[in-house]
Chains A and B, each alone.
Chain A
Amino acid sequence: MTWKLFSLLLEASLMTIFVSTVSILLGLVMAIILSGLRMSGNRVAYAGAGVFISFFRGVPLLVQLLLIFNLLPVIGITLPSLATAIIGLSLCTAAYQAENLRGGFEGVAPGLIESAEMAGFTKVQSFIWIRTPIALRVTFPALVNEAILILKASSLVSVVGLIELTKMAQNLSASTYQPLPIFASAGLIYLAINLVVAWIGRRAENALPGLPSR
């Protein structure tokens, strides 16, 4: 295990970080929309969001990625593997994040929504400016947790041909016949990234204002 090999792994970990970050943020936006659909009072929207969440939480990410990767070309959509990876990861994390947000949205005190109503907010405005920020704030620790899960889950996007940390480790392991130090190093890099994310999350949790006091 040389420095050269390790630096290749480090370089590939940038792709891991990039794919994960983009997917988490995209997934968050989708999760908020899913939550809105669930609370819209429209039955079709409610059922649709429910099926989406159930499906993407019910099927292994590996199978989801393989399905998207193989299905898209058949229905005439060809995308680079980076885009496929991001789509797969963000759909999956959207479902999990929507489920995390559910408790946050349910926990918003009705009085806070009534006061928005009395201040003239429409339902949608109240959802955007009152409910969502409060739900996000309350469920922030779950978001950090999900970020760590997605960083680890991003190891699966190698199956759609994207070269990130795990795929790089596989390639190097095959070409150097040193799987032990290489996969161990890859594991350490994941661990280090996750420790940093957890640390930032704790700092942010303490620094963020406005957790309801009551």
Chain B
Amino acid sequence: MSFDFAVILAKLPQILSGLGVTILIWIAGTLAAAVLGFVIATLRRFGGRPVDVLLQLPIEVLRGTPFLVQIFLLYFGGPYIGLRLDPWVAGLLGISIYGAAYYAEIFRAGYQSVPPGHVEAAECVGLTRNQIITAILLPEMALLVMPPSINMAVILLKETALLSLITVPEMTMTVQAIGSQQYAFVEALVILALVYWALVELANWLGRLAERNLSKLSA
């Protein structure tokens, strides 16, 4: 047998457009997930016991079920309750909600890591709750929250590949389509794998860089 990678690489513009969609959904979805997760964790931290327990349930459900089932439910099930979504909207929403559950847990651990005395001290000097969150809690937990946050972002990058199964025109779907057009399916998948690999290693490298700078800042 022989492999012909040239026929795939000839479609570089298409591949790049798929890559663009992947990166766009990844970054937008991760940001949304992190913000949503932070809001949930903050509600759980300050909202009293009922809110804390109430919010734990969806988090456990989202963390205990496969992402694939979640997006199938959203994309194929949604129309039956009047929620007809474009694939990429469903994909972005899915990534954000799924990621939010994990980020909520990361920030929860972050909140728990700050000694209560630090918050009490801030209350004593008259800081408001919002000031305490932004001036005391967030900076103090930053170093602890950073590595799992980066890790989660990388996981979300890989999860975006599943969006091809609900026909989001991201990289996996695009390259697979090229592969079947050109009768070079294996070649297409090899290139696809290599691009993801490079992207993930790049993200890991950037993450380590960010961690190092952050720990220098706080040292």
Contacts and interface: CB of A to CB of B under 8 A. Distances in A.
Interface of A: 54-55, 57-64, 66-67, 70-71, 74-75, 148, 152-156, 159, 166, 169-170, 173, 178-180, 183-184, 186-188, 190-191, 194-195
Contact of A179 (B68, B77, B165, B190): B77
14 contacts: A57-B200, A59-B158, A59-B196, A59-B197, A60-B196, A62-B162, A63-B196, A153-B66, A156-B68, A180-B73, A183-B73, A186-B69, A190-B69, A191-B64
B68 A71 contact: no
Contacts of A183: 69, 72-73, 76-77
A58 B200 contact: yes
A169 B80 contact: no
A65 B165 CA distance: 14
A190 B65 contact: yes
B176 interface: yes
Given A58-B200, A60-B159, A190 B66 contact: yes
B67 A59 contact: no
Contacts of B164: 62
Interface of B: 1, 60-61, 64-70, 72-73, 76-77, 80-81, 158-162, 164-165, 172, 176, 185-186, 189-190, 192-193, 196-198, 200-201
Contacts of B69: 155, 166, 169, 183, 186-187, 190
B73 A67 contact: no
Contact of B192 (A63, A166, A184, A190): A63
> 4 shortest A-B CB distances, which residue pairs?
A60-B161, A180-B77, A155-B66, A179-B76
A71 B189 contact: yes
Contacts of B198: 58
B189 A187 contact: no
A30 to B, nearest CB: 19
Nearest to B158: A60
Contact of B80 (A57, A61, A62, A179): A179
Q: Which applies to chain B's interface (DSSP): helix, strand, loop or mixed? A: helix
Contact of B73 (A54, A62, A154, A187): A187
Given A155-B66, A183-B72, A190-B66, A67 B189 contact: yes
B76 A187 contact: no
Contacts of B161: 60, 62-63
Nearest to A191: B64
A188 B162 CA distance: 20
Contacts of A62: 161-162, 164-165, 172
B186 A191 contact: no
A61 B160 CA distance: 11
Nearest to B161: A60
Contacts of A67: 186, 189-190, 192-193
A92 to B, nearest CB: 10
Given A179-B77, A183-B73, A70 B189 contact: yes
Contacts of B60: 191
Contacts of A156: 66, 68, 162
Which of A61, A63, A155 has most chain B Cβ within 10 Å? A63
Given A58-B198, A70-B185, A70-B186, 10 more contacts: A58-B200, A63-B196, A152-B64, A152-B66, A153-B66, A166-B68, A166-B69, A187-B66, A187-B73, A191-B61
Contacts of A187: 61, 65-66, 69-70, 73
Given A59-B196, A156-B162, A170 B72 contact: yes
Contacts of A59: 158, 193, 196-197, 200
A65 B168 CA distance: 19
Nearest to B202: A58
A70 B189 CA distance: 9
B176 A66 contact: yes
A152 B65 contact: yes
Nearest to B60: A191
Nearest to B76: A179
